[in-house]
Amino acid sequence: MELSQICSYEAGTKIASYLLVQEARVRRTRDDKPYLDLVFSDASGRINGKIWDAAEIDAPEPGTPVGVLAQVDSYNEQLQLIVEKMFIVNEKEHREKGFNWELLIPRTKKDMDAMWQAVTDAVASVENPFLKKLLEKMIIENGEQIKKWPASLVLHHAYLGGYLEHIFGMMEVALPAARSYTLDADLVLAGVLLHDIGKLGELSGFPNNHYTNEGNFLGHIVIGWHLVHSAIGEIEDFPIELRLRLEHIILSHQGKYEYQSPKMPAFPEAVLVHYVDELDARLNMMDKVMAEDSSDSLWSNTRNYFKIPIYRGIADADD
C-alpha cells in the first residue's frame, strides 16, 4: 500500500501513513471499555483517530512519530481514522520505507527567505534610533528562531514559519495604513514585529509544538511584555513615553478583556496593530477551514471556529 497524506484521505478507503501524534487520551465507551482517542497531523493537515480495542495499548506521547494503518471513516461531517495498527517509528529503520520529517511538520507555503528579507529591510528603514536598536536586538538577533516558529498551537499560522508569515502579513498591511492615517509608522512596525514576541517562550516549537510551563503559567502577552520591558532597560536613555506606548500595544493587541487582553487599545497606533492582527489571523483561520473541510460542497460545514458555513468557491450561474 502506498503512503498517503491527510489531505488525500477519502471516506471508505484504507490508508498507510506516517503521522505525528498531537493528542492521545485513554477514554471509555458507554460499556466502560477503554479506547484511545487520538489527534494526528502531518504537513498537510490534522485528523482525529480512534483505537477501539485499547486495553493493552499505552497512549503515545504528543510529538511521537507513528506509522498508521487505518480505515478512513466519516463522523459528523468530518473524516476520522479507525486505526487498525499503529507503531512508533524508529527514524533510522523507516527512512528507507519513506519516513521523512518534512512529511510530518506543516510549514508555510510562502518564501521564508523573501519574508525575512522584507522584515530585515523594514527594520533597517526605521528612523527612530531607540526603536531601531530594540528591533535589531529582539528581532534580527532572534532571526533563526523567528523563521521556524509557529504563531499559535492550533488557531492560526500553526506551522513552521507561521510566526514569520504572520508578522510579515501584518507588516504589509499595517505600514501603508499607518502612512495613510499619518500615524507613527516606526511605532506601528515595532508593535507589529513585537506584539507576539512572547510566543517564542509560550510555545515549544516543532516537532512537538505545545505550551511550555511558562506559556501555561503566564501566556504570551505577559511573557512578551516582560521581554520587551527588559530589553528596553538595556538601551540607554530610551524615552519613557515611547516605552509605555510600545508596552501598551503589546498588552492591548488582543483588543478585549474577554480575549485575555490586560488593556484595550487606547491610541491610534495600538488600534491599528490590534485590528491588523485580527485581520491576518482570521483570514488565515478561514483558509484553514476551507483546506480542512473534506466535502465537495461550495459551503463548508459549521464545525469550525466561526460556527458558520464558509463559502469555498464560485457557484455556477444556475445555483
Question: How much is the pLDDT for 102?
Answer: 82
pLDDT of residue 314: 56
Report yes or no on 307 lying in a domain. no
Residues 22 and 163 in one domain: no
Contacts of 318 (CB under 8 A, 6+ apart): none
Same-domain check for residues 88 and 127: no
Tell me if residue 102 falls in helix, strand or coil: helix
Question: What domain range is 140 assigned to?
Answer: 112-289
pLDDT for 193 equals 98
pTM, 2 dp: 0.83
Distance (Å, rounded) from C-alpha 69 to C-alpha 82? 9
Q: Establish if 295 belongs to a structural domain.
A: no
| Within a domain: 300 | no
- What CATH code is carried by the domain that includes residue 135? 1.10.3210
- At position 217, the amino acid (one-letter code) is F
Residues 236, 262: Cα–Cα separation, whole Å: 28
40 located within any domain: yes
User: Quick one: 87 and 146 in the same domain?
Assistant: no
Both 19 and 89 in a single domain? Answer: yes
- State whether 100 and 118 are in the same domain: no
Judgement on whether residues 167 and 267 belong to the same structural domain of the protein: yes
Say how far residue 41 (Cα) sits from the centre of its chain: 13
Domains identified in the chain, total number: 2
Indicate whether 155 and 276 sit together in one domain.
yes
Q: What is the CATH number of the domain that holds 92?
A: 2.40.50.140
For strands 45-51 and 78-88, give the pairing. parallel
- Residue 294 confidence (pLDDT): 66
Give yes or no: residues 12 and 89 share one domain.
Answer: yes
The predicted pLDDT at position 40 comes to: 93
Average pLDDT along the chain, 319 residues, taken 10 residues at a time: 88 94 90 91 90 82 91 89 93 82 88 97 98 97 94 90 97 98 98 97 88 95 97 97 98 90 96 97 91 78 87 60
